[in-house]
A and B are shown apart, each in its own frame.
Chain A
Amino acid sequence: MAKYIAQRLIVMFFILLGVLTITFVLSRALPGSPVEMMLGNHPTAEQIAVEREKLGLDKPLPIQYFNYIGDLLQGDFGNSLRTGRPVMEEVVRRVGATFELTLLAMFWVVVLGVPIGVISAARQNSVVDNVARAGSIAGTAFPVFILAMGLQLLFYGKLNWLPLQGRIDASILLDSPFERVTGFYLIDTLLAGNFVALWSAIKHLTLPVLTLVIVTLATVTRITRNMMVEVLSEEYIRTAISYGVPKWRIHYAYALKATMIPLLTVVGLTFGYLLGGAVVVEFVFDWPGLGGFVVFSIAQNDFPAVMGATLVLATTYLSINLIVDLLYHLVDPRLRVQ
Chain B
Amino acid sequence: MSIQDVSLSMPSRAPSWRIKALAFACDNKLFVFGALLLLLIILAAIFAPWLAPYEPNKIVFSQKLMAPNWAHWMGTDEFGRDILSRVLYGARTSLIIGVSVTLIAMLIGIPIGLVSGYFGGRIDTLLMRVSDVFLAFPPLLLPIAITAALGSGLANAMLALAVSWFPWYARIMRGAVVRVRSETYIHAARSMGVSHFRILLRHVLPNATTPVIVQGSMDFGYTILAAASLSFIGLGAKPPMVEWGLMAAASRSQLLENPWTVLFPGVAIFVLVLAVNLVGDGLRDVLDPKKGTR
Categorize the interface residue count of chain B: 35 or more
- The 0/1 profile, CB within 8 Å of A marked 1, for residues 133-158 of chain B is 11011111110111011111000000
Residues of chain A within 8 A of B146, CB atoms compared: 26
**Chain A 265-298 interface 0/1 with B at a Cβ cutoff of 8 Å (1 = within):** 0000001111111011001000000000011001
Q: Which of B21-29, B104-112, B186-194, B256-264 contacts A (4 or more CB under 8 A)?
A: B256-264
What residues of chain B lie closer than 8 Å to A137, measured between beta carbons? 30, 274, 277-278, 281
Given contacts A18-B129, A145-B248, contact A140 B141 (CB under 8 A): no
Q: Is the CB of A143 within 8 A of B270?
A: yes
Interface presence of A2 (CB below 8 A): no
B148:A306 contact, CB within 8 angstroms: yes
Count of A-B residue pairs with CB < 8 Å? 147
- Nearest-Cβ distance from residue B157 to partner chain A, whole angstroms: 12
Which residues of chain A in 19-58 are interfacial with respect to chain B, using CB atoms and an 8 Å cutoff? Answer: 19, 21-23, 26-27, 29-31
**Which among A29, A144, A146, A307 is the interface contact of B150 at CB below 8 angstroms?**
A29
A335 to chain B minimum Cβ distance, whole angstroms, is: 20
Cβ of B228 and Cβ of A310 under 8 Å apart? no
Choice from A143, A272, A303 contacting B149 with Cβ under 8 Å: A303
Closest to B267 in A: A146
Nearest to A153 among chain B residues (CB) is B259
Q: Which of A30, A138, A280, A307 contacts B229 (CB 8 A)?
A: A280
> Given A31-B151, A143-B269, are A272 and B139 also a contact pair (CB < 8 Å)?
yes
**Are the C-beta atoms of B225 and A143 separated by less than 8 Å?**
yes
Question: B233 touching A15 by the CB < 8 A rule?
Answer: no
Query: Is A141 an interface position by the 8 A CB rule?
Result: yes
Q: Which of B140, B225, B259, B277 contacts A279 (CB 8 A)?
A: B140
Known interface pairs A157-B255, A157-B259, A279-B144; A143-B245 also in contact (CB < 8 Å): yes
- Cβ–Cβ contact B130 & A303, under 8 A: no
Is B266 in contact with chain A by the CB < 8 A criterion? yes
Asked whether any CB of chain A lies closer than 8 Å to the CB of B234, the reply is yes
Q: Point out the residues of chain A lying under 8 angstroms from B173, CB to CB.
A: none
- Asked if B228 and A276 sit within 8 Å, CB to CB, the answer is no
User: Known contacts A143-B232, A298-B144; can you find 8 more A-B pairs with CB under 8 A?
Assistant: A141-B221, A143-B270, A144-B225, A144-B229, A149-B252, A280-B229, A298-B234, A306-B148
23 A-B contact pairs sorted by A residue (CB < 8 Å): A18-B130, A19-B136, A21-B133, A22-B142, A26-B145, A26-B146, A137-B274, A143-B225, A143-B266, A145-B245, A146-B269, A150-B263, A273-B139, A276-B140, A277-B140, A279-B140, A279-B144, A280-B229, A295-B233, A303-B148, A314-B136, A317-B136, A317-B138
Instruction: List residues of A whose CB falls within 8 A of some B CB.
Output: 14-16, 18-19, 21-23, 26-27, 29-31, 137-138, 140-146, 149-150, 152-153, 156-157, 271-277, 279-280, 283, 294-295, 298-299, 303, 306-307, 310, 313-314, 317-318
